[in-house]
A and B are shown apart, each in its own frame.
Chain A
């Protein structure tokens, strides 16, 4: 009885550890069977990570590559927020404006941002321009959609109440509708960031000389799977920390209606 109780409590800790251990050993065994660099062992990946952080790759340290990618994402993301949020909110607020913008937006919306890469390169060359543009497109569409949805979901009762108390149209917008739409906007804020993070990767994979996408494509060109894996782990860690940072920021800015996010 006591033993089973103990097992039940322990299983919460024990099972996850067991599964991670099992996965790592399967990885190791596969490495031993297939062998060599084709499927590197966890230890090889670790060693490669140490090596990569101590040398320059393509003229930049790993930290610089990370910095380049992050810079692109942040610039594009802020641009996307600065243009997408007001556009989406105004589309949700003003019906005539909505009707004017909607058809063009609806044609462009289903095109994945990544499909913009070739035309972005044609338009903006191969420098920073196209990468920022791709991330911008990715973030922009999500910002617009979520701001729009948030505006549309505003409880009509709130607006009606504000109107009853004599609020002007302007006050209804800034004091009622925009705060009410923030939870939905923040759902978009998260998605937009992970989308731009994905887009920067795609843009860097297709053509770049710096950035984390360049790291893994370099690993492929040099036929070094350990290098690719280290790059992927870096990408995963950065993506996850971006999300965590944003969630913290969200709690700061939008303390009401925590349940939505």
Chain B
């Protein structure tokens, strides 16, 4: 557990450049040009027939497939909106359930020693098994419908929630808790007035990891057993040998994931980082 905690502390997203001066307009132009060159090269590779149409399609065709898929349900039985909606609902259900159960559990584990001693061994035994490995068991136990997938996503999101809340509250400055005790705060008051607020930044790190994990796991679950959803869409694209559908599906998965992370960052900026200082 200790080692995991320390790992969880390391920032995973690149923070603004340390050595960099302000990004100049020239830099952005370079980025833009490089991206355009990339697209043109891709287009040419396909147009010149270096790779076959059943392996890669040019970007221009991706755009048209994307526009068609917005309204057209064929050949996989759902428009892009329907697939995205299904996946999003599922991921957010699992994620929400994991947050509601995982964060309080982690916080309490970090605060009350006996609970920590009791839950940690069980938790540590289950943690090394990747959530994806639960898929076959979940399918046998719960069928191929929503419950099985929600269960797996819940499991995937649950672990980072617990670990980060646990670490966050463990790192509470002992001086603060002692001051609270001296001024006669009860144990419960110390917990929710000192411990919980100081754990919030770490909790948010955990939420971000959880969201990522639940989105990844969702795709895996939908690849294996689904009748709708983005994972199912790309799986159908493979069966039909339609690389355009696969790539549109992949980009939608990436974009939706990025949008969700962005939303979570907004929530974090609103609630976590403005007033509270990391203790």
Contact = CB atoms under 8 A, between A and B. Distances in A.
Do A and B come from the same complex? yes
B10 to A, nearest CB: 4
Contact of B30 (A15, A100, A260): A100
A205 B253 contact: no
A43 to B, nearest CB: 17
B12 interface: yes
Interface of B is mostly: helix
A99 B10 contact: no
A237 B179 CA distance: 44
Contact of B220 (A114, A152, A243): A114
Interface residues of A, number: 75
Contacts of A16: 117-118, 120-121
B111 interface: no
Nearest to A148: B14
B18 interface: yes
Given A122-B241, A149-B14, A103 B31 contact: yes
Q: What is the interface residue range for chain B against chain A?
A: 35 or more
Nearest to A242: B128
Interface in A190-219: 190-191, 194, 197-198, 201-202, 205-206, 213, 216-217, 219
Interface of A: 11-12, 15-16, 18-20, 23, 38-39, 95-96, 99-104, 107-119, 121-123, 145, 148-149, 152-154, 156, 159, 184, 187, 190-191, 194, 197-198, 201-202, 205-206, 213, 216-217, 219-220, 223, 225, 228-229, 231-233, 235-237, 239-240, 243, 247, 259-261
The 3 nearest A-B residue pairs measured at CB: A118-B238, A220-B136, A111-B254
Interface of B: 3, 6-7, 10-15, 17-20, 27-28, 30-32, 34-35, 38, 54-56, 114, 117-122, 125-126, 128-130, 132-137, 139-141, 215-216, 219-220, 223-224, 230-231, 234-235, 237-238, 241, 243, 246-247, 249-251, 253-255, 257-258, 261
